[in-house]
Chains A and B, each alone.
Chain A
Amino acid sequence: MREFQIRPAEVRGLLLNAAQAVFGETSLQRELTGRFERLELT
């Protein structure tokens, strides 16, 4: 069976992808991206 569990680094990647892809204004993208870059995932 393939392993489906998402690793912490991948969770961060998913969140960063979303933050960088929001259709809102650029400042919002930056703010959300910064927030997820600072997020500590273990």
Chain B
Amino acid sequence: MNFKQLPKIDLHLHLDGAIRVATIAELGDELGIPLPSYDPKELAKFVQVNRDCRSLTDFLKRFEAFYPILPFAKTQERIAYELCEDCVRDNVIYFEARFAPTLCTSPKFTMEDAVVAALEGFRRGQRDFGVRCGTILCCYRSISVQENIAVVQLAHKYRDLGVVGIDLAGDENHFPAAPHAEAFALARKLEIPITIHAGEGCRPENIREAVFTHGATRIGHGVSLQHDSELLKAVRDRGTVFEICLTSNLQTCTVPSAQAHPFRKFLDEKIRVTLNTDDPAISNITLTHEFEGWRCASFRSGPPRCAACC
């Protein structure tokens, strides 16, 4: 099977994890933002994951190098536009890109500025490249519920221009979802679809809470579902969809090896799973890689850097 030619859908795709390294370098240079290097090959060593990555914390450090380029309209519009082009190249016919507006702000650039700029990039990208997409706005675990309510209100305001849902992202080990219940209640009232990062190596109770308390119809990652057979049956009966991100889970050491990943178990248990990239630029992958990779011994045996399919 030729997975590259296969039309595909990516439902779990972070906009800031999908920025071309060359674009980071160019924008850093143009905006006067200090970067570890302005040479894309050198910069890649700082922003892309390698075999030394040993934890989610390690993984997230890659983002720190370029976060200062985010709170600019020029950045948001360009990276959204280029993501459309990159998806088309991989024969992704529809994707939902997500980002946390709170991570894209500065004293001169608001959350709404970020949303407007990204939506314009997606509008132009869809027009020029023929791909279709939606935008998911991420609430964030470590900010206040008031700020997350503002994110939900933005999602509502811009639904007609491409926002299709909300997410909850951030460190689930230290920041529970419960304090943000009011934001999800508002999303439910406004009938905004909800996905939540939960069970990414953390307690399965976080998945239960996301689905049955906050109304998530999709779960980002959900790896820890494998440890709770009762919950597994409950989410199967409910039809909850799990956005699986195999390479990301390996690189963040959420699972020690591909063999230890519950993806196969979820398939066999008839859980509704999808395959996604998560942070394709940071992981240096495509969605084709995520489908194709399972044939490849080096993918299965350790953190992937597979010459055959990368």
Q: Is the CB of B273 within 8 A of A22?
A: no
B279-302: which have CB < 8 Å to A? Answer: 291, 294-295, 300
Q: Is the CB of A21 within 8 A of B1?
A: no
B267 within 8 A of A: yes
| Complex alpha-carbon distance, A6 and B289, angstroms | 13
Looking at the assembled complex, report how far the CB atom of A33 sits from the nearest CB atom of chain B, in whole angstroms: 10
Q: Is the CB of B96 within 8 A of A23?
A: yes
| Complex alpha-carbon distance, A6 and B125, angstroms | 32
Q: Number of A-B pairs whose CB atoms are under 8 Å?
A: 80
Q: Is the CB of B9 within 8 A of A18?
A: yes
Q: Is the CB of B291 within 8 A of A32?
A: no
| Complex alpha-carbon distance, A10 and B272, angstroms | 11
| Complex alpha-carbon distance, A4 and B261, angstroms | 10
Q: Is the CB of B6 within 8 A of A4?
A: no
Looking at the assembled complex, report how far the CB atom of B154 sits from the nearest CB atom of chain A, in whole angstroms: 15
With A4-B259, A21-B218: A15-B134 Cβ-Cβ less than 8 Å: no
| Complex alpha-carbon distance, A3 and B297, angstroms | 11
Q: Is the CB of A2 within 8 A of B259?
A: yes
Interface residues on A, range: 20 to 34
A35 within 8 A of B: yes
Contact among B6, B96, B267 for A22, CB-based, below 8 A: B96
A34 within 8 A of B: no
Q: Is the CB of A28 within 8 A of B94?
A: yes
Tell me which residues across on chain A come within 8 A of B295, comparing CB atoms. 5
| Complex alpha-carbon distance, A32 and B94, angstroms | 9
Q: Is the CB of B259 within 8 A of A14?
A: no
Tell me which residues across on chain A come within 8 A of B263, comparing CB atoms. 4
Interface of A is mostly: helix
Closest-by-CB residue of B relative to A12 is B6
Q: Is the CB of B94 within 8 A of A11?
A: no
Closest-by-CB residue of B relative to A13 is B267
Q: Is the CB of A23 within 8 A of B1?
A: no
Q: Is the CB of B259 within 8 A of A1?
A: yes
Q: Is the CB of A23 within 8 A of B164?
A: yes
Contact among B8, B217, B259 for A21, CB-based, below 8 A: B217
Looking at the assembled complex, report how far the CB atom of B263 sits from the nearest CB atom of chain A, in whole angstroms: 8
Looking at the assembled complex, report how far the CB atom of B259 sits from the nearest CB atom of chain A, in whole angstroms: 6
Q: Is the CB of B274 within 8 A of A14?
A: yes
B233 within 8 A of A: no
Q: Is the CB of A17 within 8 A of B258?
A: no
Q: Is the CB of B1 within 8 A of A8?
A: yes
Closest-by-CB residue of A relative to B268 is A10
Annotate B122-147 by CB proximity to A: 1 below 8 A, 0 otherwise: 00000000001010100000000000
What are 18 A-to-B residue pairs whose CB atoms are below 8 Å?
A: A1-B259, A2-B259, A2-B264, A6-B294, A10-B267, A11-B1, A15-B6, A17-B241, A21-B11, A21-B272, A22-B9, A22-B96, A22-B134, A23-B136, A23-B164, A24-B94, A24-B96, A41-B1
Sample of 7 further A-B pairs with CB below 8 A, known A20-B272, A21-B11, A21-B217: A6-B291, A18-B10, A18-B11, A20-B241, A22-B134, A23-B193, A39-B6
